[in-house]
Amino acid sequence: MTTVEEALSRPDPGVARRARRVAVHTFRPYRSWPAFIAGALLMVVAGLAAAEVISALVGSPLRLLPFERAAGYAGGARWSDPTVQVASGVLALIGLVLISLALVPGRGRWTALRTEDPNLVVGLSKSGLRRALAAAACDVDGVRSAHVKVGRSRVKVRAHTELRRDEELPEQVRSAVRQRVAELAPVRELKVRTQVRYAKA
């Protein structure tokens, strides 16, 4: 292949970066449960407030919420009161927790794979990735079974063997799993850690 053909066949770095961003964004896990709970609580409070206001306008207030007592307390409360400061601190802490939950991604069920094409997004389920890596570990001679845990940036492989001792086996398992990871080409780099359990003497 000539130099010109090599340059033309090489993927554009800008396109590859855009494809990576699209894949990460597509498979980014969202925390839907905190948003659902917060939305449900706000809906209940808004519904109760609307019912109280409408019933008061009609002339027969429901009195589900102690508005008069709360209004009386709020009218006489001062910012220097300890109860007001504690309540403000608790509400601010709840708000910070909700913001943190919204900003920090949750645990995803999918692993985005590299495609070099922003119009093509491919993902592999975490269970499928575990099975593929466990199969790669079991392909190593001497390995009877393997258990794989997949984290955000790390893969832990625990292999079981009937051998009493083989100093080269952990590195062989690590190489086999690394090769399978390279073949799958996940967008995020995965570090591989291996542990081999030998048969008891």
CATH topology of domain 110-197: Alpha-Beta Plaits (3.30.70)
Closest CA to 173 of 188, 158, 153: 158
- Check residue 8 and give its pLDDT: 43
| pTM of the predicted structure, to 2 decimals | 0.59
Quote the pLDDT of residue 201. Answer: 61
User: So what's the pLDDT on residue 106?
Assistant: 66
Look at residue 1 in the predicted model and tell me its pLDDT: 46
Q: Exposed, middle or buried, 161 (CB in 10 Å: 0-12/13-18/19+)?
A: buried
Phi, psi dihedrals of residue 41, rounded to the nearest 5°: -65, -45
In the chain, where are the structural domains located? Answer: 110-197
- Give the pLDDT score at 109: 78
Q: Which pLDDT score is estimated for 4?
A: 43
191 pairs with which residues across the strands?
A: 154
* Runs of H (alpha helix) within 80-159: 82-103, 126-138
pLDDT in tens, the chain (201 residues): 445 444 445 556 666 677 667 666 666 666 667 777 877 888 888 888 788 778 877 877 777 766 666 666 666 777 788 887 888 889 889 888 877 777 776 667 788 888 877 777 788 888 899 999 999 999 999 899 999 999 888 999 999 998 888 888 999 999 999 999 999 988 888 999 999 998 876
